[in-house]
Copies of this chain bind each other. A is one copy, B any other.
Amino acid sequence: MRLHDYFRSSASFRVRIGLNLKGIEPERRFVHLLRGGGEQFSEGLTRLNPQQLVPVLEDGDIVLTQSLAILEYLDEIHPEPPFLPATPAERARVRALALVIACDLHPLNNLRVLRYLKEPLGVAEENRNAWYRHWVGKGLETFEALVAGDPATGRFCHGDAPGLADICLVPQIFNARRFECDLAPYPTVMGIFEACMALPAFDAAQPARQPDAE
């Protein structure tokens, strides 16, 4: 497999964790999302992904985009260890937690959105940071409410093994720290985060450990 990736992209971070958990070592290609040349708009990446976003995972001739679709694919072709629990109701719980991050939080705070707020909307940096923290707060408040006190929550989001929800949660906590969000109101979330980061699969996937990190 070949992964097109950027160290700071949290969608890429999810896929790196997933590959590590499955024990897959892909070939790596790095796409710099900030550098002036606009490498993400290169012809090669556009051919693979018209959306010009990372991550992109190539598995032979198969080109995969969208981190959650990639993770479900990895789970289907390499079932062990599973990213999802055994019953439909449990699977729905884990997918819903993952989607709180992937649909309701992260899309509002990614780079292209922050750029649009700056230009053309002319939103000042202070208000862009407030925007960022507002959506982190809303998302993590929900996440905390969903995991705290639910007997299905264990050391990880669902029981005592990491899965799809943990994979989505961890990169978001890195982002929240980078933007100096207050994480004290989310003790269950932060306990899960610490349990994840104690695992080599999560630790090795973090931005600072990537070859293209600055």
Contact = CB atoms under 8 A, between A and B. Distances in A.
A24 interface: no
Contacts of A96: 64-66, 69
Q: Which of A51, A77, A104, A106 has the most CB of B within 10 A?
A: A51
Given A66-B99, A68-B99, A99-B68, A134 B107 contact: no
Interface in A81-106: 88-89, 91-93, 95-96, 99-100, 102-104, 106
A145 interface: yes
B91 A73 contact: yes
Contact of A68 (B53, B95, B106, B120): B95
Nearest to A87: B76
Q: Chain copies in the assembly? A: 2
Interface in A45-70: 50-51, 53, 59, 62, 64-66, 68-70
Contact of A123 (B92, B121, B141, B142): B121
A95 B107 contact: no
Interface size class of A (residues with CB under 8 A): 35 or more
A89 to B, nearest CB: 5
Contact of A69 (B51, B77, B92): B92
What are the 7 A-B residue pairs with the smallest beta carbon separation, nearest first?
Answer: A50-B145, A69-B95, A66-B96, A107-B107, A69-B96, A73-B92, A66-B99
A93 B121 CA distance: 34
Q: Which of A68, A145, A146 has the most CB of B within 10 A?
A: A68
Given A77-B88, A108-B107, A116-B131, A99 B69 contact: yes
